[in-house]
Amino acid sequence: MCVATIGATKAERHHATRRTASGWRGYEPRPKRGPRPPGQAHQFNETAEPVRTAEQNEYTYPMHPQVHQIGTRIETEFVMRRKMKTDAHLDPALDARRRLGTLLFTVPKLLNRHLQPVLGWRRFVLIPKLFALAGTYKKQFSKPGDDAQLRRVKDTFLLVGVLYNELVKAQGAERALSTTQSFLHDLGCAVQRKAYFPPGGKARTWDFFHDAHETQMREGFISTNENDGIQRSDSRVTLDIVRCRFHECFRDMGNPAITLAFCRSDETVFNEYSPIMRFHRGNSPVNTIARGAPRCTFIYERVST
């Protein structure tokens, strides 16, 4: 025990053994601080005592500037999330049925449609070849710096990358790109209609679309892309994609321009949803990462009818 605490009360001993920035110290009462002059800015003091205020009726401590900065950022993120109006979640069973239907019916149908004018009967040779070569191409597409989300995107689009590279060998880069983009655009439209359009007979309302879209952004496959927060009101919704892993995926698969298929499918599906909604990306023609912008712009406006 510190010599300075001999004979002191329990409270005094506790005060005496508190640690400061300069180490342990013996019991030595601090002088009382006078009131701060009006208008003087508060200076942070690591050893400041708590101050009891009549308004708060509690003890308050001076806040370190870094702590204040972190708290402000957390509060800002909380406010941004509160602007999203839905707490709905994806239905795992429904999502699984949609994926299975896409894989078993939509993909083969679209492959046949887009490969027939390019390859004719040879398309029946190419399609099984895509599966046979998938393992080899997967190693080729993989990069040491890939994070878990980018690996997920590459696994999902693996056969698209194989298709593009095999078409380059057979038809050249230009025709391979146009064929792959056309196939992927139609596939993207089909998937988005299933995700965002209500079942037959139900009205295509503003809230239904944006509730479904927010849920997909939070939990669906497109959550692999990073956004700066959805700003939603009753007449306008905006967001920016600040990292597009789809673009990174197709870059590593040989041609980032493949991503343009998804830029176009957004513009197709969102504008055919309902006359009450107009989708656009602002005034600049360079408005997505695939088109050369630093971010992808999404603007939905409610149209008076």
DSSP for 202-245, written as a single string: S---HHHHHHHHHHHHHHSGGGGSEES--EE-SSEEEEEEEE-H
What's the predicted TM-score (pTM) here? 0.72
Whole-number pLDDT of residue 94? 84
Residue 196 inside a domain? The answer is yes
Q: Provide the number of structural domains found in the chain.
A: 1
150-171 pLDDT per residue, tens:
999 999 999 999 999 999 999 9
Taking 80 as the threshold, does the pLDDT of residue 32 lie above it?
Answer: no
Q: Give residue 30's pLDDT band: very low, low, confident or very high (50, 70, 90).
A: low
Contact 278, 271 (CB under 8 A): yes
Taking 90 as the threshold, does the pLDDT of residue 174 lie above it?
Answer: yes
Taking 70 as the threshold, does the pLDDT of residue 143 lie above it?
Answer: yes
Residue 10 inside a domain? The answer is no
Residue 76 inside a domain? The answer is no
Whole-number pLDDT of residue 60? 41
Whole-number pLDDT of residue 42? 45
Whole-number pLDDT of residue 201? 80
Residue 29 inside a domain? The answer is no
Whole-number pLDDT of residue 145? 96
Q: Does residue 155 or residue 79 have the better pLDDT? A: 155
In eight-state DSSP terms, residue 295 is: S
Residue 280 inside a domain? The answer is yes
Whole-number pLDDT of residue 130? 96
For 40: left if phi > 0, alpha if psi spans -120 to 50, otherwise beta; the answer is beta
Residue 87 inside a domain? The answer is no
Helix (H, G, I), strand (E, B) or coil at 283: coil
Whole-number pLDDT of residue 38? 55
Q: Does residue 81 or residue 269 have the better pLDDT? A: 269
Residue 155 to residue 273: CA distance in whole angstroms: 30
Residue 254 inside a domain? The answer is yes
Taking 60 as the threshold, does the pLDDT of residue 89 lie above it?
Answer: yes
Rounded to a whole number, what is the largest CA-CA distance in the chain?
Answer: 101
Whole-number pLDDT of residue 11? 54
| ∠ CA 61-63-69, rounded to 5° | 155
**Structure token pair of residue 263:** 């830029």
Mean pLDDT (whole number) for 63-77: 48
Q: Give residue 31's pLDDT band: very low, low, confident or very high (50, 70, 90).
A: low
183-208 pLDDT per residue, tens:
999 999 999 999 999 988 899 999 99
Q: What mean pLDDT is reported for the chain?
A: 82
Q: Does residue 74 or residue 236 have the better pLDDT? A: 236
Closest CA to 227 of 244, 209, 205: 244
Percent of the chain residues past pLDDT 70, beyond the cut: 71
In terms of residue numbers, what domain contains 189? 92-302
Whole-number pLDDT of residue 155? 97
Residue 53 inside a domain? The answer is no
Taking 50 as the threshold, does the pLDDT of residue 3 lie above it?
Answer: no
The terminus-to-terminus CA distance of the chain in angstroms comes to 82
Helix (H, G, I), strand (E, B) or coil at 270: helix
Phi and psi, residue 23, nearest 5°: 115, -170
Whole-number pLDDT of residue 289? 98
